[in-house]
Structure 1
Amino acid sequence: MTTIGPTARHKTAMVRSSLSRPMGLALADGIIEREATVFDYGCGRGGDIRHLQGLGFSASGWDPAHRPNAEMVSSNVVNLGYVINVIEDPIERAQVLRSAWNLTRNVLVVSARLTWEARELVGRRVGDGILTRMGTFQKFYDQSELATWIESVLGTKPLAAAPGVFYVFRDEAAQQDFIANRVYQYRPRIIIDPHEEYERNRENLAPLFDFLTAHARPPKRGELSAEAEACVLDASGTLGRAVNLIYQVTDDSHWEQVRIQRRSELLVYAAMSRFGGKPRFSQLGPTLQRDIKLHFGTYRELTNQGDRLLAAVGNRTMVLMSARSSKVGKQTPSALYIHRSALGELPPILQVYEGCARVLAGTVERANMVKLAVNEPQVSFLSYPDFERNAHPTLHSAVTVNLRRLSVDWRDYSKSDNPPLLHRKEEFIGSEDGRRSLYARLTAAEVRAGLYRYPEKIGSLRGWERVLDSHGIRIRGHRVVMAGRSYDE
């Protein structure tokens, strides 16, 4: 192995105009709560500290080059953001990870650069990384390699937050709540009967309505925030009276659907919780415990059914049958494509299938479409930035997770002059999505115009443009226009 001399680590510190990606994720995921203290270990120039303080959080940090005299303080959340990848010595790398973990009370956020980021980097291979022209060192990880390394050093299994970003929890109950909250939810549309008292107190009753919808049961004392509980009591006097009022203005069949959906969500959670080792019932949070007792009777019953669900995901025939019977998503011979907003409407097997990919990759932030392959164990998270604005959005990037090889790879289409594009957008979204009628009218107009006669020609941008030109047609907004005449008029 090539010996590495001192490297210019200080040159890797960035001047940030906004929160770093790991801290932005932690904030969005509820890891950084309002009263939490945050410590940035290897804070560089302190951009995250300033932005968090500006948002009202208690944040501090230390950096060997830019804040060497700052105190290292134990905090609820510790950020080790893109630090380990600039350390050339593997032993020191592990020591730094342990030091950050020793400061962590609740959650350690660990991030590093991934192998696909090295594709255009100029430098020479030294040790287990690359020495750049600037004299800085960069160690690039595979996603699964990074997870394995964190676990080997800390003895605690991390959870993938996103590609290159992991959360390491101190508390098992908090970790299980986080896993449960990552299960996609779907709630059927509800019709509320006219009722003067309910309409007068609708805003105050909203937190209770949301809890009933999320858990399919009334809350116990302390499960609503103090502020929300005060609003409910102000509206109806007692929690029981408020619950009865909500049930009075809604249909029983709606709540039965909510109960069925909540059972499904708990099954998906039980299957996904297996990846960290089966937690004991006593390690779950009280709200999750109550949901399990109500909807399954016993924890054993839930976990047994969850195990069967997880086993079914490994059966390609079961995955294929579930995909073909799905009421949402666009079917192709090799896959089911679905918009992220509709994932909660998928059959439980397919939700666990997608969830297995997220166990490896975490949440791919800008991906709004998911491709569930049915001919191989592979899930792709696809980014179509102009999905809503553009009638036929083009693919910007794809993160593909192969569950057999346990690999996570990224492909960039943003510079392609002929990227794939979408048609029939209404097929990707949920059954009650308000956009369906607009998209469906466009599809009907395009069919009438003869644009789908040869589907093999229109799957990419250039092919689609040639078909439009040959018909003398342009798409304006979500309308088909030819010589001043709209086909959807």
Structure 2
Amino acid sequence: MEANLFKKLVSEVKVGKQLPDAIYLHRDAFSALPAALNVFIPTVAKALKLDDDNWNLVKLFKKEFRLSLLYYPDFYSNSYPALKHSLNVNLAKLSHKSTSYDGSDNPPILHRKETMILAESKHYENFVAITQEGENAGLYENSRLIGFKRSWENIITHHGYKIVAGRLFRSSALINNKEPGIDRHKTALVRQELSAPMKTLVKHGYLEGSYSIFDYGCGRGDDLRELVTHGLDASGWDPNFQPDNDKIISDIVNLGFVLNVIEDQDERLDALLDAWELTSKVLVVSVMLATESYIAQFKQYKDGVITSRNTFQKYYAQSEIKTYIERSLQEDAIAVAPGIFYIFKDKLEEQKYLHNRYKRHRKWQQLTSPQSLAEKDKAKLLIMQNQELFNAFWNICLELGRIPVNDEFEQSERVRALVGSHKKVFGLLSDIFDTKDFKQAEKNRKEDLLLYFAMGLFEKRKPYTQQPESLKRDINALFGNHRAALNLAAELLFAIADTELINTHCVKAHSQLPASLLNEGHSLIFHRDYLNELPVLLRIYVGAGLQMYGELDEEIDLIKIHIHSGKLSLTSYDDFNSSLPFLIERIKIKMIDQDIDFFDYTNKNKRPPLLNKHLFLDTEAQDYSKQLSFDKRLSKILKIDWHQESLLHRNELEVLLCKAGKRVCGYKLLRR
């Protein structure tokens, strides 16, 4: 084989781990190679007297007449296998170089193994899960540092993880080992940053200094050290590492990744109940989640598995741990994220949390200045003379969607001294300012409350015996009484099962949203940023789906409401801000079945592109014009309708672009 033919054949290879200058491929995937390469590579090995048992991967160079035959003896059994031997063959010079790493303490290692085999392989799903773990842990952020064993292990440690039975774990031991052969203390890991449950507490404002925190099963105390450094009232206990510490009743108790390492079910329940006893406001429970196919690879033990380090792990499904918590504590468990739940002992605190969770957080624009007023109206003249003060009052009205009571406006006493009651001030300001903003704020606030009450009914939360004063005021001002609000919320909640009504509201939403895609009679797709602009019925539909999943995070880009099937889909893209993002994860929430399916697209060659992305952008967005122009040109090449949703795999896209002699470069389509 000559150099030009080799280069041409390598350019046709669409499988394998594609790097800028080379392709890595396992020998078991050679059937997907061009026939000539499939024959040529083993021929080179035989010519150099390299037995089949001494190589299993090939590295094909894209720009050079060169290849390397590599041997990773534990490719299938090790999550990150080490290179034992390489044979670098320079076909242009008819020379080769052999390098052995046998006995080296820092050999090259492999990542993203799923890209090197075929999707039909029985190992593919497991390899995808291994890569996804590393992605989620942030281990691939600097690809230059991960190629050798020592630096890879340092990165894992730096991010607060360890490899257990080939998988990444971040968990704490709970109590002294009572089961012969189970090493619970080995589950406590060193962390370099706050744990996932602690990060949720940061997000919701619980770590700003107003609450005491107790970390139940704190391991080596990395979270505690960080909290104390920030001046927080934080303490913890751990049976192996801090057994002499007192267990202290605290506002917030964190039971982080503890239940999953206790092999005895009675002890597991005792731990949950003990943590609950120490909680005065909110208990945070976090566990490891995994699919059945992943769990099946381990040795089964009781209701969990035994890892290679002789530790126990009990993996849960999202619905399973929620049910376990609620049955054990007889309290509602609120999903905050996959595997992370809040259980409130203080019901006023729970209402505040849920209230804020479903409350729109609007950004106020500069108020229009009052118009000139006749001097005869003394009160209005006073308002003009104290414009900053009354602007602040009007902002509070917009924020609340109602007239504030005296203690809700810091300068109430001054306002009342100048003009009179809040009601009188509001009446005067209504003559001065455009009341359209207030009417919209009132409508938004009412819808937010209906969403809050509907979600309470959906989750079958017990009625609260007490309510925060601010909530009582909202209810009285906007609904008249609590029962009226609940009745309206119940009507809306039952209405999400009415597919014709959902369809009508999807059509309405499509006409009102800055950007969305309506597949008539099937689905409505829109960007996460426009969720709160949906009609309240659709917000309740989405909210009902998210009760199982948890809160939307920044990684979710698009939301799809399935009109007839009672499903909700969430999708994440590798770079939504680019001209052609590729799908990396799809989450389908099945409300009828009370189940969640996670679909990962770790294999870059199989990631579907988001075609016609302009459909999900506001026409006023900075890059809208460029995106629209790009989408029109690309749709012409692909022969698709630029007004509609179109589905292709990356491989199909590349084939069509290749036929057209084009390649994507930003918002341009350049010649290849």
- Same fold by TM-score, threshold 0.5 exceeded? yes
Distance 2:217 2:633 in 1: 60
Tell me if 1:107 matches 2:282.
yes
Q: Which shows bigger deviation, 169-178 or 192-201?
A: 192-201
1:276-291 to 2 correspondence within 5 Å? 276-277=459-460, 280=463, 283-291=466-474
Match of 2:529 in 1: 341
How many residues get paired? 471
- Residue 8 of structure 1 aligns with which residue? 183
Cross-structure match for 2:205: 30
> 2:627 is aligned with what amino acid?
L
Q: Give the C-alpha shift of residue 462 in structure 1.
A: 2.9
Matched, 1:418 2:628: no
Cα distance between partner residues in 2 of 1:392 and 1:232: 56
Over 3 Å counting, the alpha-carbon distance change for 1:64 and 1:244 in structure 2 is farther
Within a 5 Å distance, the mapping from 1:31-430 to structure 2 comes to: 31-116=206-291, 119=294, 122-183=297-358, 185=360, 190=365, 192-194=367-369, 211-223=396-408, 229=410, 250-277=433-460, 280=463, 283-327=466-510, 328=513, 329-332=516-519, 334-365=522-553, 366-388=555-577, 390-429=578-617
Quick check: 2:295–2:315 contact (8 Å CA) kept in 1? Answer: no
SS in 1 for 2:623: helix
1:453 aligns with 2:634: no
Cα offset, 1:251, TM superposition: 1.8
Contact 1:424–1:440 at 8 Å: present in 2 too? no
Q: 1:270 to 1:123 in 2, by over 3 A?
A: same
Deviation at 1:177, TM superposition (A): 2.2
Task: Identify if the C-alpha distance between structure 1 residues 77 and 466 changes in structure 2 by more than 3 Å, giving closer, same or farther.
Answer: same
Q: Which ranges of structure 1 fall in alignment gaps of 5 or more residues?
A: 485-489
Instruction: Report the Cα distance in structure 2 between the residues aligned to 1:133 and 1:233, rounded to whole angstroms.
Output: 70
Amino acid at match of 1:265: D
Quote the residue 2:133 is aligned against: none
Q: Matched residue of 1:115: which SS?
A: coil
Decide which moves more: 210-219 or 447-456: 447-456
Q: Give 1:184 shift.
A: 5.5
Contact 1:188 1:257 in 2 (8 A): no
Rounded Cα–Cα distance in structure 1 between residues aligned with 2:627 and 2:384 = 40
Task: Answer with 237-246 or 268-277: which moved more.
Answer: 237-246
- Are residues 409 and 246 of structure 1, via their aligned partners in 2, closer, same or farther at CA, if it must alter by over 3 Å? farther
Alpha-carbon distance in structure 1 between the residues aligned to 2:345 and 2:572: 33
Aligned residues of 1:208 and 1:232 also touching (Cα < 8 A): no
**Alignment partners' CA distance in 2, 1:261 and 1:442:** 32
Q: Distance in 2 between matches of 1:157 and 1:220?
A: 32
- CA apart distance, 1:343: 0.2
Secondary structure of 1:301's match?
helix
Change (3 A) 1:189 1:215: closer
In 2 relative to 1, CA 41–192 (structure 1 residues): closer, same or farther, beyond 3 Å? same
The answer to which of 114-123 and 67-76 deviates more is 114-123
**What residue identity is the alignment partner of 1:179?**
L
SS at match of 1:283: coil
CA contact (8 A) 1:458 1:464 kept: no
**Secondary structure at the residue paired with 1:417?**
helix
Counterpart code for 1:56: G
Match of 2:120 in 1: none
**What residue number does 1:487 align with?**
none
Deviation at 1:110, TM superposition (A): 0.3
RMSD in angstroms over aligned alpha carbons? 3.4
Structure 1 Cα separation of the partners of residues 607 and 270 of structure 2: 45
Query: Structure 2 vs 1, CA of residues 288 and 6 (structure 1 numbering), >3 Å: closer, same or farther?
Result: farther
- The answer as to whether partners of 2:213 and 2:234 remain within 8 angstroms in 1 is yes
Structure-2 separation of matches of 1:468 and 1:211: 55
Deviation at 1:374? Answer: 1.9
Q: What does the per-residue CA deviation read over 1:194-222, in whole Å, with 9 as the maximum and x for residues that have no partner?
A: 479999987x9897666433321243344
Identity fraction in percent = 31
Paired residues of 2:284 and 2:342 also in contact (CA < 8 A): yes
Larger Rg: 2
User: Post-superposition shift, 1:179?
Assistant: 1.6
Contact persistence 2:359–2:449 (CA under 8 A): no
Where structure 2 has 5 or more consecutive residues not aligned to the other structure, the ranges are 1-177, 372-382
Letter in 2 for 1:454: I
In structure 1, distance between residues paired with 2:663 and 2:431: 51
- In the TM superposition, residue 23 of structure 1 has moved relative to its aligned partner by 0.7
Q: What TM-score does the superposition give when structure 1 sets the normalisation length? A: 0.85
The secondary structure found in structure 2 opposite 1:125 is: strand
Aligned in 2, Cα 1:74/1:230: closer, same or farther, shift over 3 Å?
farther
**Which among 422, 430, 438 is matched to residue 623 of structure 2?**
438
Equivalent residue of 2:471, what SS? helix
Structure 1 residue 399 displacement after superposition: 2.7
Question: Once the 2 structures are TM-superposed, how far is the Cα of residue 115 of structure 1 from its aligned partner?
Answer: 2.5
The one-letter code sitting in structure 2 at the alignment partner of 1:149 is Y
Aligned residue type for 1:341: D
Report the residue type matching 2:611 in the other structure: H
Deviation of 1:308 after TM superposition, in Å, equals 0.7
In structure 2, C-alpha distance between the alignment counterparts of 1:38 and 1:255, rounded to whole Å? 40
Q: How many Å separate the matches in 1 of 2:547 and 2:201?
A: 16
The Cα of 1:350 is off from its aligned counterpart by: 1.3
Higher relative contact order (CA 8 A, sep 6+): 1
Q: In structure 2, how many angstroms separate the alpha carbons of the residues matched to 1:422 and 1:459? A: 9
Post-superposition offset of 1:146: 0.8
Q: Distance in 2 between matches of 1:270 and 1:46?
A: 39
| CA distance in 2 between partners of 1:284 and 1:186 (Å) | 21
SS in 1 for 2:291: helix
Letter in 2 for 1:125: Q
> Conserved in 1, the CA contact under 8 Å of 2:398 and 2:437?
no
1:409 is aligned with what amino acid?
A: D
Q: Which amino acid aligns with 2:652?
A: G
- Return the alpha-carbon distance in structure 2 between the equivalents of residues 332 and 34 of structure 1: 48
Letter in 1 for 2:442: R
Q: Which piece of structure 1 moves more, 363-372 or 132-141?
A: 363-372
Mapped partners of 1:410, 1:458: distance in 2? 19
d(CA) in 2 for partners of 1:336, 1:481:
29
Q: CA deviation at 1:470?
A: 4.0
Does the CA-based 8 Å contact 2:505-2:535 persist in structure 1?
yes
String of CA shifts for 1:266-316, please: whole Å, max 9, x gaps.
211121111344655752211111111111112111111110100011222
In 2 relative to 1, CA 457–146 (structure 1 residues): closer, same or farther, beyond 3 Å?
A: closer
